[in-house]
Structure 1
Amino acid sequence: MRCGSGCGRGCPWRGARSPMRRTWRGRGRVTRRTRRLGRRSSGRRWRWRSRLSLPCRRSPWSRWWIRAGSRWTPSSPSSSSPGRQVQRIFEALAPKHLHNDARSLVEYSCFRYLSRDNSDLHSNLKELAFQKLVFVTMLAWEDPYKEDDSPLSSLDNYSVLGRLVGEDAFVRIAPAVAGVADVSTAHYLFRALVGAEKGLSFDLWTTYLAELLKVHHGRHRQTHQMGDNFLSDEQVLCIGSSKKRPVLKWEDNIAWPGNLTLTDKALYFEAIGLSGTKKPMRLDLTDQNSRVEKAKVGPFGSKLFDSAVTVSSGSTSDEWTLEFVDFSGETRRDVWLAFISEIISVYRFIREYGPGDNDPAIHDVYGAHKGKKRAVSSATNCIARLQSLQFIRRLYEEPAKLVQFYYLSNAPFGDVVLQTLAVKFWGGPLITKAKSSNHMSPQWQRSSEDPSSGVAHVYDVDGSVYLRKWMTSPSWASSHSANFWKNSSVKHGVILSKSLVVADKNLVEKAMVNCKEKSKVVERTQATIVAATIEGIPSNIDLFKVFGFHLVV
């Protein structure tokens, strides 16, 4: 038998499996004899209440996240079941119209557990059961009331064979897991993984995560092994060295093979000569004048091979021309171009949107001193995901769209998305020092002002403060920025953290909605221009329609 919403054999959120239950009616005293006879001392009998018509207020998928909390983290003793406890908490926090919304419950159960983790890469990703739980959650988000013949009592017994996750579910759930995806690039990550397929399969999902874990593990090993050759505060991100596909550094029309290493601050090149490997050369990528662009190289000054990049660090003397030999095309060069561009872009973002290193106000906002580290970690995670796609041969046609800081610096409405990222990285509770006669103790303050007021500071959805004095970028004065922050508050959702909002969107997600819409317009315009170039401008009327010309026939 099934409950009213058809969630399986007996609703796990309604108690017993039977579709009927007995309830006492009347005020009579219950005794052993009257209980055996099925009536109270007053003579009133049991009343059978049907449960078939009652709607299921709980999605059966969400209880696996409740069990996950007790499996991967210590659970506190409670007299009530975990499911009913989460039910009461959810109904106490959520607006009334969300109490019977199963999708909101799936989000709450998932986000509630994930909000406990503050690491750059979730520690449970190495467990296959956790990977399956996230995948099943994406399926549940798409259709939380779906009837299924598989037993819902065990995640291990639930079959995901042939099940595919859609783009909207991936974009909603995957960025909530630390290190798996970013909100700003999740759409392109999904399209790169899926390719020509209809959706994301479980095998492809686990393959991607396994490769992602290998990349992070390899970084720690390489940083430890090569620590003497680099600065102590740098982390090795990737190494470009291969006998079949070497990296060549061009100097005076001469190509020198060598090993190229990218860290979170610089590029290192170790030339390989007849006498062995030479001392590595370093090119700083944190300088405000650092830049990288595509280049063509060839012998005797010819431009035969379109497989190189030119990287500079502010002066002509600090300019490198690097060729990435790839006989299969330009993919390898484009990937390394995205790697280097992301490191340059994240430090440009820090200079434009973050406080200075010597700014005393950074100590007035709790956690703001970690903002720079958070931004760099976000960029290095983007590079790790792009490396994973490269290793499993699932690269997107434009690798630059998979690294968020470089992509947003060139995307329409991307400056507002960067503003929301700045509030996310540097925002926090405001700390004031309350002086007393004997001691001084820090106090937390969360402003009750409307975040959209724009009078002084900017506030995140959880009340975190981003100080007005840090808003030095010209983008804050734009009209579309002002319009966005006027309507940035959360009105109907449940806020678990600045990044996790149930039944609503956080600031980055809201800004990305506008960015995606404007990007689609730009892509359609570019496609029209390309078509006009091929077919001839006079014969392509659509081009004139895009630019607003009124044709009179």
Structure 2
Amino acid sequence: MENLKLGMLDQLDGFLTKNHQKTLKSLFRRSSSTKSSGEDDSPSSASDSPKPIPHLSPFANSVVSRCSKILRIPTEELQHHFDTQLPESVKELLTYARNFLEFCSYQALHVVSGRPDYLSDKEFRHLTFDMMLAWESPCAENNKELNKETASSSNLEVEDDDGWSLFYSSSTNMAVQVDDKKTVGPEAFARIAPGCAAVADIITVHNLYDSLTSTSGHHRLHFLVYDKYIRSLDKVIKASKSTLASSIGNLQLAEGEIILDVDGTVPTQPVLKHIGRSMWPGRLSLTNSALYFESLGVGLYDKAVRYDLATDMKQVIKPEMTGPLGTRLFDKAIMYKSTSVEEPVHLEFPEFKGNSRRDYWLDICLEILRAHRFIQKNNLKEIQKSEVLARAILGIWRYRAVREAFHFFSSHYKTLLAFNLAESLPGGDSILKTLSSRLVILNSSASQHDVSPHSKRQSKLSPISLIAITQLGFILQKEVNLDGEVIIVGEVCAGESNPLEMVVKQSLLDTGRAEAAQATVDQVKVDGIDTNVAIMKELLFPVIVLANHVQRLASWEKPYKSTVFLVLICFSIIRGWFSYVLPSVCVCVAVVMLWCRHFNRGKPLEPFRITPPHNNAVEQLLSLQEAITQVEALLRAGNIILLKIRALLFAVLPQATDKIVILLVFMAATFAFVPLRYIILLVFLEAFTREMPYRKESSDKWVRRIREWWVRIPAAPVQLIKPEDNKKKKS
């Protein structure tokens, strides 16, 4: 592997010195026409007419040929490096073609992503999409072969003067309907797209695919959609670069600080800052370290106020409601609170419909805040810290690109921001733990020796996000030592899944189960108090029936059955069998569940049939009012009980207090000297035999005396104090 890396670097340096005036487009050119003899005398002429590889399909051979031209290495030599440098597990017969295609694609994408302005070149978009198409049908034995004329996406372009496809003016669904054969699936996209760090992140690549295909009917990615995404991404990155150049003086940015987005520049859509009852319109900027707000003065912006996100100051960022004069009317703001500000700052994003503008800013601010918390938690320094911030920056740019191109709004589990996703995804803590372990070993193998090429390739990791940021023209950290040996290794490996990719896949499986379970919850949610009461009664029907049986036994309507039940319960209490009741219930429930699992395997669960009462809207309102009245009555009764207990505790009625004291002392002695089983037995006998013919009259008499005694207990006084107006009146 060392020889492969050094050879590729040497050939790459020779190519740059001899062909620096050639455009990037010539690297991707797929034409097979023969070059003139005097055009190129470099070693790359050996790959002008590459020899097809028998294991690959014609279209996969075409992609490999274009990769060899980019690398200036003949296809035979690429195959030789693949056969000699990679482990045997990658070169199995069934997966050989696909793994070799990944090997060539990753090497070519690494070289291409080092060129300036590569995202704006349409040939880059053609090449990466064709890599995905070839990944789905790499083998020569595959009957579903793609020829160049069919799979090439260049025949699909119909562009206007601005370079944007005419299909973009209409629905994305129309673009997909042009030719559904030129589409790729999620696996191909997830394997190829992360090869270029600017295009996709290995943590969020599946969500990115879902967002790009959300408008298609068959959940496949069309080239026109992919092309529009890359164009939008390039536009967003260039906009950030121009904004950074024009705002450095105004914001006084620190070294390595990059502006990610700015809002409030349009006079009709300002950002409103609320502190208490004061409000200022202005412009809001987000960098990879802080939020900046510039209040709008008379035609000019005032000095920016900085709200730090990088230092641990117990920052809180959450959605909030705001309105004029401190009222809470509009759910369109975010609240920033930390130890550096005296009172919370509310940043409002007014818009006529919805709160998508606020939600977007909430997401990107939380992404930067959570990235810095991840850095602080794992004590990351220098290159590791820059790599984390670069990953967050690229995620925000991708989020902006998809949002602006397709009006995509992320949900709880579909966010395109890696650290936000790890917070909301099931198993997200495992993703962050795996990411931390891989960041720690950046450049850690510099002192390792006597290891195989493959193990060295596994142990060495490159800061791919930091490299991508640097290649795009942003300086996140100066004096970073990125030697070529480390750079050549990326986050994805041919034919293999790194630990981060595997933990993301497992988390996605758990997410699918959680979403499926939540879908069933949403289906059974019903409106109306009467309907929910009817459902609860049916669900608790076995418990209600059992309670009714016990109630009939306690009423002594059938003395024989009540006597048998009383004797059995008393015998069980005396022998101590009640300690086994709960374990027995658990075992019985487990047996029933196993029985159902064995005999109902594969059978859908029958729906629970409920006949809700047919009440109109007025009757439902009356039911709601009655339920609220009953709850209020219960609260009032509970307060009265607590106030009477308070009166007894503070001896408002001395005679009653004396009786309570004697009762408490007697109960303390009972609990101290009488075994617990006998206490339970006495309580059960008193409660169960209260309705016996021999005890009913005396029991009713005692209950009546206790009720009369309780009525005579006064309640502790309560004084309601109206809140005073604390406004300071100006003299």
TM-score, normalised to structure 2, is: 0.53
Deviation at residue 125 of structure 1 after TM alignment = 2.4
Distance 2:537 2:53 in 1: 59
Residue of structure 1 in register with 2:342 after alignment: 317
Over 3 Å counting, the alpha-carbon distance change for 1:388 and 1:249 in structure 2 is same
- The whole-number CA distance in structure 1 between the counterparts of 2:278 and 2:345 is 13
Q: Give me the identity figure in percent.
A: 28
| Equivalent residues of 1:342, 1:403 under 8 A apart | yes
CA distance in 2, matches of 1:299, 1:393: 33
Match of 1:396 in 2: 409
Instruction: Give the drift of 1:509.
Output: 0.4
Query: Do the aligned partners of 2:319 and 2:362 also contact (CA within 8 Å) in 1?
Result: yes
**Distance 1:307-1:262 versus aligned 2 partners, 3 A rule:** same
CA–CA separation in structure 2 for the residues paired with 1:94 and 1:155 = 34
The AA in structure 1 aligned to 2:536 is P
Match of 2:212 in 1: 193
* Counterpart position of 1:28: none
Equivalent residue of 2:439, what SS?
helix
Distance in 2 (CA, whole Å) between partners of 1:64 and 1:499 is 25
- 2:274 corresponds in structure 1 to 250
Aligned partner letter, 1:409: E
> Aligned-pair distance for 1:296?
0.7
Q: In the TM superposition, what is the alpha-carbon distance from 1:465 to its structure 2 partner? A: 8.9
**Contact 1:353–1:419 (CA under 8 A) maintained in structure 2:** no
CA distance in 2 between counterparts of 1:125 and 1:540 reads: 61
Q: Given that residues 262 and 283 in structure 2 are in contact (C-alpha distance below 8 angstroms), is that contact kept between their aligned partners in structure 1?
A: yes
**Which one of 370, 391, 416 corresponds to residue 383 of structure 2?**
370
CA separation of 1:506 and 1:540: change in aligned 2, threshold 3 A: farther
2:419 corresponds in structure 1 to: 405
Offset of residue 155 of structure 1: 8.6
Whether 1:83 aligns to 2:75 is yes
d(CA) in 2 for partners of 1:519, 1:301: 40
Deviations 1:370-400 (Å, cap 9, x if unpaired)? 1111110110101101111121133134277
> How has the CA–CA distance of structure 1 residues 305 and 214 changed in structure 2, closer, same or farther, with 3 Å as cutoff?
same
Which position in structure 1 is the counterpart of 2:224?
Answer: 203
1:115 and 1:500 in contact (8 A); partners too: no
Which of 252, 266, 269 is the matching residue for 1:230? Answer: 252
Q: What amino acid is the match of 1:307? A: K
Secondary structure (helix, strand or coil) at the match of 1:216 reads helix
Query: Aligned runs of 1:471-482 on 2, under 5 Å?
Result: none
Structural mapping, 1:208-227, within 5 Å: 208-227=229-248
Q: Does 1:382 align with 2:395?
A: yes
Q: Which residue in 2 is equivalent to 1:427?
A: 441
TM-fit CA distance, 1:344:
0.0
* 1:18 match: none
Cα distance 1:58–1:71, how it changes in 2: closer, same or farther (>3 A)?
closer
Against the structure 1 CA distance between its residues 104 and 310, is the aligned structure 2 distance closer, same or farther, given a 3 Å change threshold? same
Q: Is the 8 A contact 2:461 2:490 kept in 1?
A: no
* 2:281 aligned partner, one-letter code: P
**Residue among 455, 462, 468 paired with 2:458:** 462
Contact 1:239-1:261 at 8 Å conserved across structures: yes
The Cα offsets for residues 425-449 of structure 1, whole Å up to 9 and x where unpaired, read as 3323446xxxxxxxxxxx6316979
CA distance in 1, matches of 2:156, 2:389: 39
The secondary structure found in structure 2 opposite 1:503 is coil
CA distance in 2, matches of 1:154, 1:238: 35
Unpaired runs of 5+ residues, structure 1, are 1-53, 77-81, 358-368, 432-442, 450-458, 467-495, 542-548
Q: Tell me the residue number matched to 2:56.
A: 58
C-alpha distance in 2 between matches for 1:57 and 1:65: 13
Would you say the 8 A contact 2:275–2:343 is kept in 1?
no
Distance 2:456 2:379 in 1: 15
Alpha-carbon spacing, 1:273–1:534, altered in 2? closer, same or farther (3 Å): farther
- Residue 100 of structure 2 is aligned with which of 96, 105, 109? 105
Matched, 1:271 2:265: no
Identify if the C-alpha distance between structure 1 residues 419 and 118 changes in structure 2 by more than 3 Å, giving closer, same or farther: farther
- Residue matched to 2:508: 516
Task: State the alpha-carbon separation in 1 of the partners of residues 299 and 192 from structure 2.
Answer: 53
Q: Would you say 1:130 and 2:124 are equivalent positions?
A: yes
Instruction: Give per-residue Cα distances to partners, 1:491-528, cap 9 Å, x unaligned.
Output: xxxxx835122222012101101211222233233334
The 2-side partners of 1:331 and 1:153 are apart by 37
| Structure-2 change in CA distance of 1:138 and 1:55 (3 Å) | closer
Summarize the Cα distance change of 1:125–1:67 in structure 2 as closer, same or farther, 3 Å threshold. Answer: farther
User: CA shift at 1:209, angstroms?
Assistant: 0.7
Structure-2 change in CA distance of 1:126 and 1:63 (3 Å): farther
Counterpart in the other structure of 1:147? 145
Alignment partner of 1:170 is 2:189: yes
Find the residue that maps to 1:225 and give its secondary structure. helix
Match of 1:328 among 342, 353, 361: 353
- 8 Å Cα contact 1:291-1:341 kept in structure 2: no
Matched, 1:240 2:263: yes
Question: How far does residue 99 in structure 1 lie from its aligned partner after superposition?
Answer: 7.3
Q: Aligned to 1:314, what secondary structure does the other structure show? A: coil
Measure, in 1, the Cα distance between the counterparts of 2:538 and 2:188. Answer: 38
3-state DSSP class of the match of 1:306?
A: strand
- The TM-score normalised by the length of structure 1 is 0.69
Report the Cα distance in structure 2 between the residues aligned to 1:58 and 1:370, rounded to whole angstroms: 40
1:49 maps to what in 2? Answer: none
- Deviation per CA, 1:71-130: give whole Å up to 9, x if none: 545x26xxxxx12222222222252424763222221221122345786x9853222111
Query: Is the Cα contact below 8 Å between 2:293 and 2:305 reproduced in 1?
Result: yes
- The CA deviation string for residues 29-83 of structure 1, in whole angstroms up to 9 with x for no partner, is xxxxxxxxxxxxxxxxxxxxxxxxx99412333444444445545x26xxxxx12
SS at match of 1:387: helix
Q: What letter is aligned with 1:445?
A: Q
Larger deviation, residues 248-257 vs 518-527: 518-527
One-letter identity of the residue aligned with 1:133: L
User: 1: CA distance between counterparts of 2:224 and 2:105?
Assistant: 22
The reply on whether 1:444 has 2:447 as its aligned counterpart is yes
Say if 1:149 and 1:380 are closer, same or farther in 2 by CA, change over 3 A: closer
One-letter amino acid of the counterpart of residue 218, structure 1: A
For residues 519 and 148 of structure 1, do their structure 2 counterparts lie closer, same or farther at Cα, with a shift above 3 Å needed? closer
CA shift, 1:417, in A, is 1.1
Closer, same or farther in 2 for the Cα pair 1:107/1:203, shift >3 Å? same
Instruction: Establish whether residue 295 from structure 1 lines up as the match of residue 298 from structure 2.
Output: no
Matched to 2:406, the amino acid is R
Note the alpha carbon deviations across 1:256-282, whole angstroms, 9 max, x for none: 211001111011111113464221111
Cα 1:346–1:226 shift into 2, 3 Å: same
Q: Give 1 or 2: higher helix fraction.
A: 2
**How many residues align structurally?**
427
Offset, 1:287: 2.5
Q: CA deviation at 1:299?
A: 2.1
Which residue of the other structure, out of 260, 274, 294, is the alignment partner of 2:284?
A: 260
Cα distance in 1 for partners of 2:523, 2:67 equals 54
Give me the whole-angstrom Cα distance separating, in 1, the residues matched to 2:276 and 2:267.
Answer: 23
Contact 2:194 2:492 in 1 (8 A): no
Tell me the CA shift for residue 180 of structure 1: 0.7
CA distance change for structure 1 residues 152 and 240 in 2, over 3 Å: closer, same or farther?
Answer: closer
| Aligned equivalents of 1:465, 1:179: Cα separation in 2 | 17
SS at match of 2:508: helix
The 8 Å contact of residues 229 and 402 in structure 2, kept in 1 or not, is answered as yes
Q: CA deviation at 1:150?
A: 3.9
Matched with 2:678 is none
SS at match of 2:415: helix
Distance in 2 (CA, whole Å) between partners of 1:394 and 1:427 is: 38
CA RMSD of aligned residues (A): 3.5
Distance 1:201 1:154, change over 3 A: closer
Structure 1 counterpart SS, 2:254: coil
Aligned to 1:184: 203
